[in-house]
Amino acid sequence: MTLAGPRDSTIGIVGDGFGSALVYTTAVYLGFRPEQITVFGPNGSPVDTYQQFAYNLGQTILRSESESHFLPADWPTFAQLDAWARRSPAPLLRSVRRRYNPGVAEILAEATTVQRRLGWDANRLPVRIGWLQREQHPTPHFTLYDEEANYAGRARHVMLAIGHGPLAYPPALAKAREDPALADRIVQAYEPKAYDPAGRYVVIGAGIASVNEWANALDSGAKVISLLRSPTPDEQDLNTPRCFFEAYGIDAYQALSFDRRLAFLGQILKGTSPRRRGWEERVREGRAQGRFEQLMGEIDEVLPGPAGLRIHVSSRHGPDPGWLDVTGVVAGTGFQKSGLTLPLLRRLVQFYDLPVQEGRLLLRSNCGVPGLDLPTSRLCMMGIHANPVIPHGDTIAGLKYVARRFVADCARAERIRHRRFPSRLRMQLSLAGGSVEAMRRVRRAEQIA
């Protein structure tokens, strides 16, 4: 049962994904009562959006490591939960060597258990927030409205956990998708798709989504050309170097100017892919069978063709590959990073004249929205929009980092009584036990690192 109507809350969470679940869980863990927190969003589960993308991508394990999961505190780690669930030391041994990655099904089972036990859904108002208004009287707070401008409630502190923008396409493909004759042959890696065994496909990019698609297409028996815009990226287990997940790196990162932070993000977040045994083998086999090749270049024209599409590829790194006849094109080009692609943010930027640079909101060093954020009534952002503040803002570890600090700020502002150690331990063990039960019911994901 969700909330029947608007209410006043201490913490309002705009968004219903992973970030929302982590803010909610942390707040309850630190001592807020569930009825003090309201989640705003139409999805019935915080895993819905991610689950759909993971399914479309054919993803079975996360890139994250053992500490990145949905219990409020960092112990037990996910490998420990997995070992407990399967009564096997294998996850622990892998974790000790940093070769453990949580399975998608298992981590979603954990997230679902945690949100059910803590009442995330029972404190959710199923509306999409379209506008929020800063109010100063009688005390600083925000009034929230849905996309039809209906009143949705008030909250003293608000976390904007609205996720990333829409899927991104290179310009030539975006234009071609407007033609109904071509549109269904050009898809994003995160969209649903089916490969034809006799098909010939171009997969753009070399990040984790693209690498998954190479494997999916090769598995179906199809031929794949991997099209790279720049030389092959570095292989890296995580999408940010390890020490940038902790104080060492974050302190140093925040000491940089905004321009230098953006340049750094551009460097580290562009096309890193983890080394995976399964993918390597499949690609090696595909190459040996003449079904996989890599090209440097960019698609600059798309026409209908005998195979479905006729695309022109030009290259800055050598002779132009020219025209190719292909069955389809898969763009592993991720999501729009600009905050201006999200209607709520765009409205806030326009109305409150918020500072924006290269499409990114210039957040304060505490992820606060400048001009609207106050110590007594916080307005914060998390996820990809917080990357200029926290380099791994769009990972589970980054979401946790921001959620913990935001909730701690709220707790200080509200002077709440913190949950005591025995109560925290009891809650953590109870959630861990429930998660283990849930994990036993799902099929174990194969570790491929």
Residues lying near other proteins in the complex (CB under 8 A)? 26, 29-30, 67, 72-75, 95-98, 242-243, 245-251, 254-255, 257, 364-368, 373, 400-401, 404-405, 408-409, 421, 424-425, 428
Cβ–Cβ < 8 Å for 222, 198: yes
**By the 8 A CB rule, do 363 and 339 touch?**
no
Hey, what's the torsion of the CAs at 239, 380, 374, 135, to 10 degrees? 160
Shortest CB 24 distance to other proteins, Å: 14
Indicate the residue type of 389.
V
Q: Are 306 and 295 in contact (CB under 8 A)?
A: no
CB-wise, 246 or 293, nearer to other proteins? 246
97/443 with CB nearer other proteins = 97
The pair of three-digit structure tokens given for residue 5, joined into one six-digit string: 């109507």
Provide the minimum distance between the beta carbon of 153 and other proteins in the complex, in angstroms, as a whole number.
27
Shortest distance (Å) from residue 76 CB to other proteins:
8
- Between CA 421 and CA 57 the distance in angstroms is 41
* DSSP assignments along 79-90, one per residue: HHHHHHHHT-SH
Residue placing its CB nearer to other proteins in the complex, 70 or 190: 70
Q: Which residue is it, tokens 């999409």?
A: 128
Minimum separation from the CB atom of position 253 to other proteins (A): 8
Q: Which residues pair with 356 in a beta bridge?
A: 361
Smallest gap from residue 232 Cβ to other proteins (A): 25
Q: How far apart are CA 21 and CA 114, in angstroms?
A: 9
Peptide bond into 197 cis (omega under 30): no
- Nearest distance from C-beta of residue 288 to other proteins, angstroms: 35
Of 325, 31, 288, 339, the C-alpha closest to 163 is: 339
* Token pair of 346 as six digits: 């765009």
Decide whether 119 or 249 has the Cβ nearer to other proteins.
249
Of 331 and 403, the one with the shorter C-beta distance to other proteins is 403
C-beta of 181 vs 425, nearer to other proteins: 425
Least distance from other proteins to the Cβ atom of residue 263, Å: 17
Minimum CB distance to other proteins smaller for 198 or for 429 = 429
The Cα-based distances of 192 to 79, 176, 213, 308, 330 in angstroms read 30, 18, 11, 18, 11
CB-based contact 181:309 (threshold 8 Å): no
Q: What are the start-end ranges of the E strands in 322-368? A: 322-326, 328-331, 356-357, 360-361
Q: How far is the CB of 427 from other proteins (least distance, A)?
A: 9
Measured from the CB atom, the residue of 243 and 303 that comes closer to other proteins is 243
